[in-house]
Amino acid sequence: MVHTTQCCILMGCLCLFYPWSQVCEWREPEELAALLDLELRENGEPQHQLLQRIRDVAKYSVKTNHPRFFNQLFAGVDYHALTGRFLTEALNTSQYTYEVAPVFVLMEDEVLSKLRSLVGWAEGDGIFCPGGTMSNMYAMNVARYRAFPEVKLKGMWSLPRLAVFTSQQSHYSVMKAAAFQGIGTENVFKVKVDDRGCMIPEDLGETIELAKSQGAVPFFVHATSGTTVQGAFDPLEPIADICDRQGLWMHVDAAWGGSVLFSKEHKHLMRGVERADSVTWNPHKMMLTGLQCSAILLKDTTHLLKHCHSADAKYLFQQDKFYDTSLDTGDKSIQCGRKVDCLKLWLMWKAVGSKGLEERVDRAFTHTRYLVEEMKRREGFELIGKVAPVIKERMMKQGTMMLGYQPQGGRVNFFRMIVISPQLSHQDMTFCLNEIERLGNDL
C-alpha cells in the first residue's frame, strides 16, 4: 500500500509541479518505443523500476499544462478539477444507477441543471458524454427519433431520405454522426459561411429548399458557437426563425464557445441559444475542467433522451426498487458503464464560483485581443506555402512550444492559436510570435 501511494504522489508531482522547460521532448517513434521499453512480459517488475516507468511516461509526454501549449482546444490544469479526477478514479464507480452512484447521480443532476439555466432553460434534460463528438451524435439521434419514433423498432427501412444542415466550417463530427447513424454523409448539406466563418441564414433557407427539391426530408440543423478554426459564432436568432418555420430540430454545437455564457461581456455571441432544442457544451475546453467533460443539454421535458436510447435492462433498471427509480439515469445513455464526469466540474465550480469561471472566459478574450494587436504591429507576419509545417516541425523537435496549423478553403496552411491556459500571460503571447519568426527566419 505504501508503494502504491508513493506512485500516486510521484505521478502528481511529475505532472504538475516539476518546472518543465519544454512542452515536449521529441523523439522519433522507434527511439521512443525503445526508451519506454513498452513490451509486456510474463513477470512483473519491482517498485523502483515502476517508478522509473512513471518518470519516463511523464518526461516524454506532451505537457498540455505548459503555458506554451497552444495546439488543442484544451490546455492548462485546474487543481480543484484535478482533485476531483483523482477522487473519481479512486472511487471507481459507474454512473448509471442511484444505488451504485448516489452522490454522483444527484451531483450530475445539479450540474446539468445549472448549465441549462445558463442556456436559458428553466427545465430540460441532459447527460454527460465522452466528448463533444458523442454529444453531437446524441443530438442528431434524438432529433431523428422525435421526427420518426418508429426508427427505434423498425430501423432504417421505415425512414425516407433524411437531410442534415450544417455550416461549411462545422465540426467533422456532423459527418461522423450521419455516417454512424446510417443517414449518409451525402445527405449532410453544407451551408455557406461569411468571411468571419459564420453560417449565412439566407443560404440555410435556400439549401433546405434545395434538399426538398431532391426528395430529401429535412429534420436537423446543426449550428455552431465557436467553430474549430476561426472560432466563429453562427447567428442563432435567424437560424432559430428558420427552424421554427420549417419544424426542424435546432442543435447548437457550443463545445468550444458555450463557456461565453458565463461572461456578461461576451454572452451576446450566443444570443438566441435558448431557442435551440439541444446544446453541446464541453467544460473541458475553455472552463479548464480537464478531459473528459462534455454535456448534451436538451430543452425537452418529455424524456425523449430516455425513450430514444432505453433498453430496459431488467438486471439493472428494476422498477420495483425501494427508491425513486427516476434516479436511475443510465438508460438515457447509449453506454452501460459510464464514467463519472460531473465531480471535477462540480468541485471546480464550488471552488472558484461562477464569477471565477467568468474571469477565465474574459481573460481568454483579452489574450486574443492582445495577440491580434501584436501581429498587426509586425510587418510581413503572413505565412505562405510550406512554411507552417516546417516551423511546426522545428518547434516540436526543439520543444519550445506547440501550435497547430491547417489550410482552410482557398487559404494555405496557417497557424491556429488557442489561448485558454490559466498559466498564459502576455509574455507568452509575445514569445509565440518571436519564436515563429526565429524558427522561420531562413525560409
Report residue 6 as a C-alpha cell: 508513493
pLDDT score of 3 more than 60: no
The domain boundary residue, chosen from 308, 340, 372: 340
Give the DSSP per-residue string, 379-414.
TT----TTHHHHHHHHHHHHTS-B-EEEEETTEEEE
pLDDT score of 4 more than 70: no
164 and 41 in one domain?
no
pLDDT of residue 384: 47
pLDDT of residue 20: 60
H/E segment holding residue 337:
none
pLDDT of residue 386: 72
178 and 240 in one domain?
yes
307 and 375 in one domain?
no
Flag whether 76 is in a domain.
no
The domain boundary residue, chosen from 44, 63, 82: 63
User: Residue 430 belongs to a domain with what CATH number?
Assistant: 3.90.1150.170
Flag whether 198 is in a domain.
yes
pLDDT score of 5 more than 80: no
Average pLDDT on 40-49 reads: 96
User: Residue 223 belongs to a domain with what CATH number?
Assistant: 3.40.640.10
Average pLDDT on 400-415 reads: 80
Flag whether 240 is in a domain.
yes
Q: How many domains does the chain have?
A: 3
**From 60-69, 210-219, 238-247, 298-307, the region with the lowest mean pLDDT:** 60-69
Q: ∠267-272-278 over CA atoms, to 5°?
A: 100
381 and 354 in one domain?
yes
416 and 273 in one domain?
no
**From 90-104, 137-151, 408-422, the region with the lowest mean pLDDT:** 408-422
Residue 9 confidence class, pLDDT cut points 50, 70, 90 = very low
Flag whether 84 is in a domain.
no
| Residues, the chain | 443
Nearest to 405 by CA among 370, 397, 396: 396
SS3 297: strand
Give the DSSP per-residue string, 113-174.
HHHHHHHT-SS-EEEEESSHHHHHHHHHHHHHHHH-TTHHHHGGGG---EEEEEETTS-THH
**From 46-55, 185-194, 331-340, 408-417, the region with the lowest mean pLDDT:** 408-417
Which residues are bridge partners to 217 per DSSP? Answer: 162
201 and 178 in one domain?
yes
More confident position, 382 or 153: 153
Residue 381 confidence class, pLDDT cut points 50, 70, 90 = low
Average pLDDT on 250-268 reads: 97
Flag whether 83 is in a domain.
no
363 and 272 in one domain?
no
Flag whether 78 is in a domain.
no
330 and 360 in one domain?
no
pLDDT (tens digit, 9 = 90+) per residue, 100-153?
999 999 999 999 999 999 999 999 999 999 999 999 999 999 999 999 999 999
pLDDT of residue 133: 95
DSSP 74: -
Which residues are bridge partners to 253 per DSSP? Answer: 224, 280
User: Cα separation of 405 and 401, whole Å?
Assistant: 13
Percent of the chain at pLDDT exceeding 90: 68
Q: What domain range is 380 assigned to?
A: 346-439
355 and 226 in one domain?
no
Q: What does DSSP say about strands 294-298 and 278-281: parallel, antiparallel, or unpaired?
A: antiparallel
Going from the C-alpha of 192 to that of each of 189, 196, 409, the distances in angstroms are: 10, 11, 12
Flag whether 366 is in a domain.
yes
pLDDT of residue 39: 95
33 and 101 in one domain?
no
280 and 371 in one domain?
no
Q: What is the mean pLDDT of the chain?
A: 90
The domain boundary residue, chosen from 340, 368, 391: 340
307 and 215 in one domain?
yes
Which residues are bridge partners to 254 per DSSP? Answer: 281
pLDDT (tens digit, 9 = 90+) per residue, 186-228?
999 999 999 999 999 999 999 999 999 999 999 999 999 999 8
Flag whether 192 is in a domain.
yes
pLDDT (tens digit, 9 = 90+) per residue, 21-39?
788 999 999 999 999 999 9
pLDDT of residue 19: 54
Nearest to 237 by CA among 193, 208, 274: 274
**281 Cβ contact list (under 8 Å, min separation 6):** 115, 135, 254, 255, 258, 259, 294, 295, 297
Which residues are bridge partners to 147 per DSSP? Answer: none
pLDDT score of 367 more than 70: yes
